Every structure is written in structure tokens, then in C-alpha cells.
Structure 1
């Protein structure tokens, strides 16, 4: 099992991602031949040193005086390249992300009429195809990306002077839910192509997952910056076969809220997408009885859940713990049939496996078991035991 983590402390561009993947171990010659056969470019790969860090530098040479391509022209070029199915799908998906971002920014709902400017040239085509080919060849089980340094200031482009990150880049970051931060360097460090590639392949993380590093790569950027202008990639062997998940923990104290209100809040938060809710009695200063409300949530749900807590309890604020890793089993709901007291019943069971498919646990759904217990007169715990026994035989 392998995990790839991108650490864009100096931003990311398409050529940096490609170079980083090659430096980690993707086949340089195979990727070069594929890129040159798929786009009207030539590709040069060399080693450079960026402020003391040895990195791989990829230069894409393109024909002079290229015209601005439309999105449909890009799609036609990709399909004409006859790429392997998985590679073609990734390439088309990445360009679709860029097209949708451009369309959203410019208010152009018809993608057929959309003109690409900076991302419509042959070098962008080569970067996307090459990066996708290199990343697929690494055969990683998962890919993550730490917060991206997007730079600061403004840039000059076909649409005039724009802020950093550029509007299309920002839209890609929003839809991809990638974490990012501004930097002290007055320059664009994250390009739309880089953002789209990372958005397609990587999940956001605040910090490196636990594991043992088995390979490290650096992809060089073009500009000379005060620090090393490189994209770092680390290939890890995770410590376990559990699945990494990203959560935030919301927490507040409520010292003047009735049990009925708390019970309703519990149900409301779960219906709004909370992963779990816990309400614990505590004693606050001056001996006042109160409750701590603790909610596990996906980062994108934290704001609406926090607002709900404040509205329902009168709390003046909700503490949001920093995003963290949660290691968990993959869970599926299966339905089984069991015979009890001469009758057949259907019960849902939760089946938990690790990332390699090894069965870890089975638990019967309580509400189904309670319904069957009322019908048969058997204790709920006996119904649960028998359902889980049948399920272990079926799914082991």
C-alpha cells in the first residue's frame, strides 16, 4: 500500500507536478515518449538546484504563434491522442475542471463557446497528460495535498490585472476543497493547471499522514525565488491499512439549556450531516450544572453546524479544533435474511473492512433488531447476536 503526499510550500504548476512525479520514480522515458506522441511539443528533462535543493526540471517546448484554443478543441486533441482509457479520463476531467472554473468566472455557461487562454496552449496539454500518466504509473492507493502556498499580489494575463490567486484558480480550489494560504512572495505560485491536477488526484490534509517515507521527489518551478521554488512529493508506506478521513471537532459549553432542547439539537445536527454528536453533563464555575456539546463534522459542514448550535443554545461561540486525520474502516451496509421463531426477517448489518478488504467487524443495525424483537418476543440482544452470526458466515 502506497500513499503520495504533495507538499506545495512554494506553490504548484503543471510542469512542477510532472517533474515531481518523475523524480519520485515514474518512468521518465515512457512519459516523455507519451507526451511527445500526444501533443505538438518536445520535452526536456534535466536536474537543477533550487536554493540548495536538487530537483527535476521539465521544460516543454511548443510551436511558435499558437492560436487560442476553445475547450472543444482541447477535448478533440485529447481524444485524438488515443490515450489509455484511465489516462484519457483523467486528462478530460482535469480540463473540464478548468473549463468549468473559467465559465463560472466569466459568466459563460456554454462550454462549447469557451476560449482557453493561458491553459489552452500545448504546454498545458503536455503538463496535464504527462502529470496524469506519471501519477497513474506510481500506482498509489491514495494521494493527499497539504495546504498550498498560492503567493500574493497581482498578475497580468489576457483579462488584465488580476489578484492572486487568479479567479479561475480560486474557483478550482473552492470546488476541490483544497486548503491554501497566502505567501510573502509577491508572485503567483499556483497556476490553474496546477490547481486542477491537484484537485483531480489529491484529497486535502492539514499535515502529513503517519507512515514511513519510501521515496521523495522535487519538481522545479521556473522562477527564482528567495526560497527553493520546488514542489515536494513524498511517497509513504502508511502505518496501518485503515482509511484516512478528514474531520473537525466542534465544541461549546451550554449552561442554561433544557434537556428537551438538547435532545432536539442532537437530532437536528445529525440530520444536517454531523458525523457524530455527544452531549456530556459537566459542572462549571460556581457549581453551575451545564453540558459540553461535541460534534464530529466534515470541514465543509462546520460553519452551518456551528450556526445551528449557536441558534438553538444561545451560545456565543463554538470552538473548532484544527482539522485532523481520523483513521477508520471502510463501512458498507448489507442486508441479510435470518429465520427466527419460524419466520424469515431481513436485517441490515454494518460491515467494516480495511483498505485491503480484510473483514474487521460486523454490527447489526439496532432499529431493525428492535423491530424483529417486538415481533418475535425475543430479547433485542439475542436478535443482534443471531444476525451478526449469520453475517459473519456470509461475509468472512
Structure 2
């Protein structure tokens, strides 16, 4: 089973909202504070309270900082802070990746070297707590992967340290490149740079809620008021069943384009390819230059048989060259089961997928021989073998 954290930023994405949702889904506040104490950074306090906003009950977090302002930090300052902190390595690694992503966005949109990029209000103590706290909370949940839904950005303008900026602000737009944007948009900033940084750092993919068993639901409450839209972020803790895995083996596809061969010679060539070791061989009709008819010859073989199969093509003078394409062929689990019928025992080829029988096919040669011997139709023998054989949809017994 795979334990998945699904982030649903329907009403926005901000660091405090994501951290609140993770606490709401079950991360113990005391355990989180133990991890954050490893920052050895004085002058702050993290409060988490259950509250109600826009008709939703959830958790609201707030970082209280001693003093009104904090100096802007460069990436080197943050890296030094986290490098000397006593943090779990995965928490430190994710937090460093998040801050680097954020600084790179700021440097890009402001046209300055990375080492000179400032985060201003974004690098205040509360941003450090939001980012490191969120990374720590994800680690405490012991999830295997993180998936995120489409991200809403909002509309209009927002006031920042750089003045009035359009929504989404340049840094948010840069951070969300390649990320699906939600179609709904409230008037105002719905996703902050910190929120965009966290979802793009943590999520391995963006999409819809995965199929599975719901283990828990958390709601993080934001501080903004949007007309007709709740400023909330939800997280779903899911247990996903593993996808069925198909057995497979490496093979080689031998291909040749032939425009000068008779049908009789082509039939001989296909037989020779199978005798040379091809697992299967076939041809497809096509049209070449100047409207000339041609055939695409293809044979699939084990790597050890490729030389012999290619030699069979050359031996008939069918082509001046062949193409070798490596591939993997997933295969269903299968076996031969002998079933009793009024016409004698008939072998049935049974195949299964995801521990369920999906195919049960009586062997043609055996059915034909039994039909001739009993003086009945082939269809009668096939029907009898199917009736006596394993049922499609029944469990596969190894």
C-alpha cells in the first residue's frame, strides 16, 4: 500500500494554510515543535487553534515574532541557518530545496544574481517556520508521496515590498510554470510565493484526487476574505492500492522495409524467421516513394536470437538492412490447464491479470483433432472445453 498526501488548494495556497491543514489532519503540535526547536532560532512562537471560517471548521496557525520587522535574508543566510540546525535530514533537504526554488524565482523575476536576491518579508521568521514546519509535518505523517490539485492564483493586484503588483505576482507565476492552474479565481492573491514554493517542492505530480481509501482529512484556514469563495486549503491522507504490475521481459523488434518481393517468397521468409527464433513475425502493407507498394516486415525476438533472425532476412535477399529496436513486453501470467470433455481431454490456455482470470482459450489444434476423431464440429468441441474450463473473472490460483 502507498500512503499519499493529496493537497487540495481550492481556496488558495499559503504556507500557514498548508501547515494548518497538516496539523488538522493529525500531526501532533508537540512533535512538530520538537522538530522546530532544532532550528535554534529564538524570538518566535507558533500557535495553532481550531477555528471556523466561511462555514468550514479547521486549524488556523499563526507565528508570533518578537519585534515588528526582520531583515531580508539571502540564500546563503538561510542555508547557514538550516545547515547548523538539528533537523532530520529529509526535512533539512526539502526545506533547502524549497528556499533555493524561492530564491531562484526572486532572482529571475528581478533580474539579479542568485547570491544578491533578497526575499524581504518572505524571509521573515514566520516564512522560515512555515517552510520548515510544513516539511517537518509531511515527514511526521510518514507519507510515501505527495500529489497536488490545480492551483488557483486569483486576480487583480496585490501590495508587496516592491509596490503594487499584478496577480499572480511575477515570482508566483515563475514558480508555477508547468503546473495546472485552477479555472476559478477570486479577486486578490490566492496563492502566495511561499505557498507556490511548497506545493511545487513537495508534490511529485499535479492532478485529481487519487483512488484509494481515505484515512484522514485536514483543513487549513487562511486569513483572507474572498467574495463567495472560502480561503481554505484541504489535505487528504490516502492509502492507495498498488497498481497491478505486469510481468515483462526485454525483447528486440527486428524491422525491415521491403519493396521488391513476391507473396510466395514473403510467406517463406515469415516461416524462416520463426524457425530462426522469432517469437512472432508479421508484415504490414504500405506505400513508398512514387506510390510503390511495400511491406513493413517485423519480427520480435529474444536478444540472443536477434543475429539469427536478421540473418534469415538477409539470406532471402529481402532487404539491404534491418532496424533493431529494443523494447520490453509486459505479459500476463499464464499456464495450460487440461480439462475433461465428452470428446477427451483438451488443453486450455489460461491467462490472468491482477490475480483474476481474464482469458481461457482452448487450444485450436487439440480441439480440431478431437472434432475429427469424434466426427463432430469444431465449435462443439470448443464449447465443451470452455464449459469445463476455468471461468473468466474467477480468482487466479497459483
Q: TM-score scaled by structure 1?
A: 0.63
Question: Among 80, 87, 94, which residue is 2:91 paired with?
Answer: 87
d(CA) in 1 for partners of 2:32 and 2:182? 32
CA contact (8 A) 1:178 1:203 kept: no
**Highest Rg: 1 or 2?**
2
SS of residue matched to 1:10: coil
CA contact (8 A) 1:9 1:148 kept: yes
Aligned to 1:51: 54
**Where in structure 2 are there 5+ consecutive unaligned residues?**
257-271, 281-300, 306-327, 334-398
Structure 1 residues 212 and 190, CA gap change in structure 2 (3 angstroms): same
d(CA) in 2 for partners of 1:59 and 1:83? 22
Aligned to 1:365: 251
1:199 to partner: Cα distance = 0.4
Aligned to 1:312: none
CA contact (8 A) 2:38 2:87 kept: no
Aligned to 1:325: none
Mapping of residues 124-203 of structure 1, within 5 Å? 124-174=127-177, 177-181=178-182, 183-203=184-204
Mapping of residues 101-112 of structure 1, within 5 Å? 101-108=105-112, 110-112=113-115
Aligned to 1:275: none
Q: Does 1:77 align with 2:60?
A: no
SS of residue matched to 1:2: strand
Segments of 4+ moved more than 6 angstroms: 374-377, 385-388
**Where in structure 1 are there 5+ consecutive unaligned residues?**
243-328, 330-353, 355-359
Mapping of residues 148-297 of structure 1, within 5 Å? 148-174=151-177, 177-181=178-182, 183-225=184-226, 226-238=228-240, 240-242=241-243
1:33 to partner: Cα distance = 2.9
CA contact (8 A) 2:105 2:175 kept: yes
Aligned to 1:384: 302
d(CA) in 1 for partners of 2:185 and 2:206? 22
Q: TM-score scaled by structure 2?
A: 0.62
Instruction: Give per-residue Cα distances to partners, 1:131-155, cap 9 Å, x unaligned.
Output: 0000112122221111112111101
d(CA) in 2 for partners of 1:230 and 1:47? 13
1:215 to partner: Cα distance = 0.5
d(CA) in 2 for partners of 1:217 and 1:211? 17
CA contact (8 A) 2:6 2:237 kept: yes
SS of residue matched to 1:223: coil
CA contact (8 A) 1:147 1:204 kept: no
d(CA) in 1 for partners of 2:146 and 2:34? 25
CA contact (8 A) 1:10 1:149 kept: yes
Aligned to 2:12: 11
d(CA) in 1 for partners of 2:110 and 2:134? 27
1:202 to partner: Cα distance = 0.9
d(CA) in 1 for partners of 2:254 and 2:202? 39
1:367 to partner: Cα distance = 3.3
Instruction: Give per-residue Cα distances to partners, 1:157-201, cap 9 Å, x unaligned.
Output: 111111111100110111xx3211364421111011111110011
CA contact (8 A) 2:219 2:233 kept: yes
